[in-house]
Structure 1
């Protein structure tokens, strides 16, 4: 029996502890029409941890909202917080979290979790402009507004469907943002034309509001590099496409060639993954979407890689799994696994076009403590050569195992047998193109 009573007492103490630690009095008062609130938290046990700046959290249910807040202690039990949502919109449900603070009772921590929502005058803030022909036209308000309050009085000089806006949250869920409503045209709007939206006079709080907006022009390609029909394009050439306006995204496809597209402002670039074969003609197709969501018309241009007959030339690809490819004209003669320079201003392999210069059987660099056989120079101290050796001409095993990935001080490493072949078969003056 005594054991049962003891257990009951312990449970009662724990229950009382939980009740006391979680019980606070919170009073929230909105002070003005801007949404400034004063929050007074009354703790029933004195708090000794006063530095609460990093423990006060304000989070809106709408992603991307931010707050201005200040706080002060009125006494050891009363915390006063002033909070204001930055900018517009405002009026979404907000959660105030105060992480547990140390109290005068050893081991007892006090925290707060409470929700509130401010009320401000609803009014239209802006109408998006320019917009794409397909829309949507975004009508933004100062605070969440129900659909019925809008649809009854909203008019435009085009037919539209009214839809809510959604924001993707950090957790992957969709949040319905009732401060932004979308007017989706039922028929495409004419590029370059102006349209209006307005609220008819009546009982609506938005009565009399009207705004014009413009439909964005269709983006156009104004130039390309290489130009359409050009017939002397070098084997590795980055394609450039210039538009008459800033673009959000651009798709460039090239026949028989993969590559990466980079879009910056009004210019898009296509970086090919390999080289264009001499004498071959390629067709590029371009489509894009402007920053306003307006799609361009398809655009195509052709170019031909510069013919070089049956001459030998060399491609060095510094893409993952680095390699050297030797061509005769447009035919591959030999492909070799390679290693270029490590990332860094002093160790990167230079990109561009070079020609083979002098050569030698052996060298050793005191600076790097490495040497190699069968070196062939292309620029300054940048060479093709065998796998690195120590001063006694022994293979450095750990370097040999890096073949295919960036590993050198800027030279192009090859297997010993490949370096010997390169040394014996690639004559002085041969073109070398190095790309990443």
Structure 2
């Protein structure tokens, strides 16, 4: 029973360590990914620092860097918490193994003392011959054989338990060292976070000195975005009108066929032809998913909500919705993702290129996914054309620079309604 208990404890320990190792691996990957984003943002900020003019992209990049730094500290805290659990578990396992080892040694010592008392062959023979009959003598012979075998097994259990104990102690020491390193890393990140916040304060102070210029820049950006949005909505409206035309043609053809059949049936029955049934006008979403291919694309897009890939490898530096910086505010109807200049911009899902336009010297690509649309703004060049079929993660162009920072503006629409892309792309 003690052996079974020991095996069960070791089994639970191995299972728990396997689960912890998986969590530890996930946390490490997340931390490394955050660090890559921080480094990319820092490169962009270093590049932008040479300019005397402060831009909205710089402020957003600094704010994003602070958020990432806080996220990294949170990830380190999770790693430390995970290690604390491992340390506690390994400590308990070590204590259990030490107790089991002590019991095994006591039992083995008792067996050794018994063997010492009956160590010569004469005593064993007398023990066997003292039996009252042959059956009892046979049982005594088997007992002596089994006792010898059990003693050897017990010695093996002691050796294996000792090895397991030594292994657990080594793991415990290594885990304690890892925790110590993580605590040091946490302190370094907190120090860097303090520097980032100081830089943020300096930037906001600089902003107050350049307030009029900054407001003018935002006003210019708003004006440009209005023109881009107008072009996007016009392209989508054309797609809707084309879908409406096709649906109307299909409805007329179907109504004419039904009227012909009804007239023929009425004539055969010598009755007047029935009045035509009025056709219900379809909604925008129904028009855009009128055929099987479009309906399948829309359903696939919806089913991948929260799992769509990033359109570019970078960091979201401006979120969806209304933002206020100092006294200036603006409404972002998508997300801005800061990346390296010339980075590949990729389609987030299968679809058809609805439009490729050059506005203010930069390209805008619109991809249609049934009744959903994805919009990719601020491309230096586009590698697709109107009508092209694209697949998930296919490169559609390369990212351009905006002022001092390379930034993709990405939007998702359902019909003419703007959606928050962060609810659709993967975390």
TM-score when normalising by structure 1? 0.19
Which structure carries more helix by proportion? Answer: 2
Structure with larger RCO (C-alpha < 8 A, sep 6+): 2
Which structure carries more strand by proportion? Answer: 1
TM-score when normalising by structure 2? 0.19
